[in-house]
Amino acid sequence: MIPTDWIYGLIGGLMIGAAAAMFLLVNGRIMGASGILGGLIDGSGKANTKERLAFVAGAIGVPAIVYLAIGAPATNISNNMIVLILAGLAVGIGTRMANGCTSGHGVCGISRFSVRGIVATLIYLLAGGVTLLVLRQWLGLI
Amino acid sequence: MRLLFSLLSGGLFGVGLMVSGMTDTVKVQGWLDVFGAWDPTLAFVMGGAILPMFLAWQFSKVTTTSVLGTSIPTPSDPALDRRLIVGSSIFGFGWALAGLCPGPAIASLSFGGLGGLSFMIAMLVGMYVQPSIRHFGLGARGIA
């Protein structure tokens, strides 16, 4: 690990937390990426569609402006379509089934000591660790 | 005003994900690869993100109305259920497989290329079909 990585991690993390805090205290809403997006997709968020769209527009648009202005860090996204589609389906189904992802359960849940948030986070970290153990360490597939 | 602050929150969230390294799938997989070459960077991201949100929740105990006049949600903490456990396991598998979770997938859409777009489309399809899963009570919506 390059020593500066954790400084960027910390600064970026504080920005993520500040965004979540603003959304809670200004708009009175919980910032969960899968919840905001999922509500638009399956129709469960009809009551505040515009607010959801504005959030997603900001989350796509502002990084796009930064990217065009000064460039973006490497994403190193896989070029294996089977991996991408399988992973995308799993993330979509799993986060909606569990009612939250890294931002909702991880950031907003753990910070209020929610048992569900803490348990969800431990489970998806464990599931992720096991996935890499099997597919990377043992089988060398990803 | 609600829309403006939604846009600003989304923008700050997106740039935070970009700066933190969460949009780098190698770094994310490095963090999840606890049995391999473990990269602890994401612990700083999580810690950094939890701190302001912890303060915000504390503040919400004092003021129950948001700046724009709606009440600040006070989520209950329902019992653990099968949906949470199975859903989080499926999510963890997908997150590790591609190194992307929903936030960074959104934030990197403009610079993630065809791969990022493919992941996003598959994720939206997954979100769309999940409520219609008919087995073991794992479909439909629970608490919002």
The Cα A91–Cα A67 span in angstroms is 25
pLDDT, block means (10 residues), chain A with 142 residues:
80 97 96 96 92 98 97 94 98 96 95 95 96 89 83
Measured distance CA(B1)–CA(B59) in Å, rounded: 21
Range of the domain at A80: 5-138
Query: What is residue B34's predicted lDDT score, i.e. its pLDDT?
Result: 82
Round to whole Å and give the CA distance between A42 and A114: 26
Nearest-by-CA chain B residue for A140:
B36
Number of H helices, E strands in chain B: 6, 0
pLDDT in tens, B37-94: 888 889 999 999 999 999 999 999 998 899 998 999 988 888 899 999 999 999 999 9
Q: What pLDDT score was predicted for residue B66?
A: 92
Q: What distance in Å separates the CA atoms of residue A92 and residue A90, rounded to the nearest whole number?
A: 5
Is the model's pLDDT at B142 over the cut of 60?
A: no
pLDDT at B144: 36
- Asked if B38 has any chain A CB less than 8 Å from its own CB, the reply is no
Indicate yes or no: CB of B10 within 8 angstroms of CB of A105: no
Give A110 to chain B, closest Cα distance, Å. Answer: 7
Residue B18's CB: how many other CB atoms inside 10 A? 25
Q: What are phi and psi of A96, to 5 degrees?
A: -75, -35
CA B131 to chain A, closest CA, distance in angstroms equals 8
pLDDT given at position A2: 52
pLDDT at res. A140: 81
Percent of chain B with pLDDT over 90: 74
Give the integer Cα–Cα distance in Å for B99 and B97: 6
What SS3 class is residue B35?
coil
The position carrying tokens 């700083």 is B44
User: Given CB atoms, is B137 within the 8 Å cutoff of chain A?
Assistant: no
pLDDT at residue A136 in the model: 86
Is the pLDDT assigned to residue B18 strictly greater than 50? yes
pLDDT of residue B8: 97
Q: What is the mean pLDDT of residues B102-126?
A: 97
Segment among A114-118, B73-77, B101-105, B120-124 with least mean pLDDT:
B73-77
Distance CA B91, CA A123 (A): 9
Q: Which of B59, B110, B142 sits opposite A60 (nearest CB)?
A: B110
The whole-angstrom separation of Cα B32 and Cα B12 is 25
What is the value of ipTM here, to two decimals?
A: 0.94
CA angle B101, B91, B94 (to 5 degrees): 70
What is the pTM (predicted TM-score) of this model?
A: 0.94
Asked whether the beta carbons of residue B50 and residue A17 sit closer than 8 angstroms, the reply is yes
- What SS3 class is residue B71? strand
How many domains, in total, are found in chain A?
A: 1
- d(CA A108, CA B87) in angstroms, rounded, equals 18
- Asked if residue B143 has pLDDT above 60, the reply is no
- Degrees, nearest 5: CA angle A17-B25-A70: 70
Taking the Cβ of residue B140 and every Cβ of chain A, the question of whether any pair is shorter than 8 Å is answered with no
Residues 6+ apart with CB under 8 A from A94: A124, B87, B88, B89, B90, B91, B92, B93, B94, B126
